[in-house]
Amino acid sequence: MPLTSTSTSTRAQHGRRPTHRVGRLVRRLDRERRRFLHATAPEVPTEQAWRAGIAEGLRLAQLAIRKGV
């Protein structure tokens, strides 16, 4: 008599990733990106460039997560 498992993962049944977790992560990255875009005090150009770089990195991370890379 072969042994069978009664519990199977969602991914095994549908072949898809759990999108609710990905959506939550993407929303969190968006929130962090917005936080980095807006400064609370006047900044020197170097700090402005740093903030823009962080925001761009977070945007690229969102795109990679959405694509499933």
Q: Residue 23: what pLDDT?
A: 83
- Structurally, the chain folds into a number of domains equal to 1
Q: Whole-prediction pTM value?
A: 0.55
How far is the C-alpha of 38 from the C-alpha of 47, rounded, in Å? 11
Identify the residue with better confidence: 50 or 10: 50
Q: For residue 42, tell me if it sits in a domain.
A: yes
* Cβ atoms 63, 27 nearer than 8 A: no
List pLDDT tens digits, range 11-53: 555 555 555 678 888 888 888 888 877 777 787 889 888 888 9
Phi, psi of 63 (to 5 degrees): -60, -40
**Domain, as residue range, for 50:** 17-67
* Cβ atoms 34, 52 nearer than 8 A: no
How far is the C-alpha of 48 from the C-alpha of 19, rounded, in Å? 34
Q: Is residue 5's pLDDT more than 80? A: no
Q: Is residue 58's pLDDT more than 80? A: yes
Q: For residue 11, tell me if it sits in a domain.
A: no
Q: For residue 40, tell me if it sits in a domain.
A: yes
